[in-house]
A and B are shown apart, each in its own frame.
Chain A
């Protein structure tokens, strides 16, 4: 296969960027999308050019480091991460546009690399259960009903890749924030901080400059882990509940 990648190149945070086309030959359907970028980079280095900078690490779809917008879709045409997207999803001769996540809360660092530290600060604001090491009671002290445990798990699967923000026309981080709030607020262990958690996380989310949710549902479509859109409804409910209680 031979494909043309049109890649967003931007030397630094304040530099202007633009799309640059590259033809990549010798692509096989078994290659992952990032391996095509690897192949391109090997060629660029030998040609004396700067390789394309992109975030990636585990390459098995769990660390959340990778993430590029491929043909206008976060992580590309399939519901997975860019590292787990294989070239069999494309055809010989395709022209593929590759862009970084776009959101004011995720400024571009270089090429396809963006700064997602805003997510860390949202978690730091309340996305935890205060349980200092050594203070825990026996694990069986509090049984957790299986459905609650399942709900918590399904929302805890979020990998923090930022695809939801990239896909949202408002650059909103509601799905990300909702996933953590639902995970922790569903568990009995999370109950003591239930109200402060949601208020502080939403506050931090707003302070980071993420947009609001207009319920377009784009985030849940882009999410490689299938965090459901109803999580946002649950977040809203938790927020209003906490707001009422704090009044």
Chain B
């Protein structure tokens, strides 16, 4: 039991002596002081965020929203593939010179990568910790099984794991080019087309984007709720925004392998 909790009354005995009344007797002449209010958590913002469930959820929500913002930018960039190899490759080059001449070559990109890695780690760690706690809070299942909640809600944990694995593959495929056969550094357009010219590249990518859609469908709304911005007046609008944005992101990302497969992009 954590410190500061009132001890659960233990019904010890058969006879309680009135002499117990003298225990905790205050100093003579001083009125009985009201015991200090027990503090459940240290009163600092980082401690509150890290130790409480609500705080961890906040970290989860904020890191998720950071990744979502990145995804939106990422999608906008990706869609440039429809304007041809030159424009797409130029865009790839611009990303590396972003912020110049103040920032050195690729500094901005690395900054983004650091923030993203931090978001991924925080998102993963808090999700893992919260999940462990949630599972421990409901150790016995009901005998009578009943489908609860929506598919998107139930698949958050495994969907998150799938997305994590996808990100690893995605980096090995198109950033480090480790697993991409025929890859050439500095030619993102050609590399992308190469990926989506394989059946497994398409399967992995499309599966992951569907998982992303489901994850966002519960995740975005959930993050807004966690950050305390979901009021009764906004509930419906928020649901609509969530569903639309999840759909747009999923369709947007999937449009690229589809375009390669159908020969629109080659």
Which of A's residues lie within 8 Å of B, judged by CB?
6, 8, 19, 69, 71-73, 97, 99, 102-105, 117, 121, 124-125, 168-172, 196, 199-200, 202-207, 209-218, 228-230, 232-241, 243-244, 246-247
Contact = CB atoms under 8 A, between A and B. Distances in A.
B136 A209 contact: yes
Interface residues of B, number: 56
B44 A247 contact: yes
B142 A170 contact: no
Interface string B1-12: 110011010000
B53 A236 contact: no
B254 to A, nearest CB: 26
Pairs of residues from A and B, 3 with the lowest C-beta to C-beta distance, nearest first: A203-B40, A237-B228, A211-B137
B139 interface: yes
A27 to B, nearest CB: 19
A217 B37 CA distance: 33
13 contacts: A99-B142, A102-B140, A125-B40, A172-B134, A172-B137, A199-B43, A200-B40, A210-B137, A212-B56, A212-B130, A232-B225, A235-B228, A240-B58
A207 B230 contact: no
B145 interface: yes
Interface stretch (B96-104, B146-154, B188-196): B146-154
Nearest to A8: B143
B87 to A, nearest CB: 41
Interface string B117-146: 000000000000010011111111111111
Contacts of A99: 142-144
B249 interface: no
B222 interface: yes
B165 interface: no
A217 B144 contact: no
Contact of B40 (A103, A199, A229): A199
Given A99-B142, A216-B149, A237-B229, 19 more contacts: A97-B143, A102-B140, A104-B136, A125-B40, A169-B134, A169-B138, A170-B135, A199-B48, A200-B37, A200-B38, A209-B136, A212-B53, A214-B134, A214-B153, A216-B148, A233-B226, A233-B229, A241-B228, A243-B45
Given A104-B138, A215-B222, A243 B146 contact: no
Contacts of A212: 53-54, 56-57, 130, 133-134
A215 B44 contact: no
Given A72-B146, A211-B138, A200 B39 contact: yes
Contact of B137 (A124, A171, A196, A202): A171
B138 A236 contact: no
Nearest to A17: B140
A233 to B, nearest CB: 4
Given A203-B40, A206-B53, A247 B45 contact: yes
Nearest to A196: B37
Contact of B52 (A203, A214, A229, A233): A203
B54 A202 contact: yes
Contacts of B144: 69, 71-72, 97, 99
Interface in B7-43: 8, 37-41, 43
B230 A230 contact: yes
A210 B226 CA distance: 17
A64 to B, nearest CB: 21
A239 B52 contact: yes
Contacts of B263: none
B225 A170 contact: no
Nearest to B226: A236
B143 A19 contact: yes
B56 A246 contact: no
Given A72-B144, A102-B142, A215 B221 contact: yes
Contacts of A102: 138, 140-142
B66 interface: no
A218 B148 contact: yes
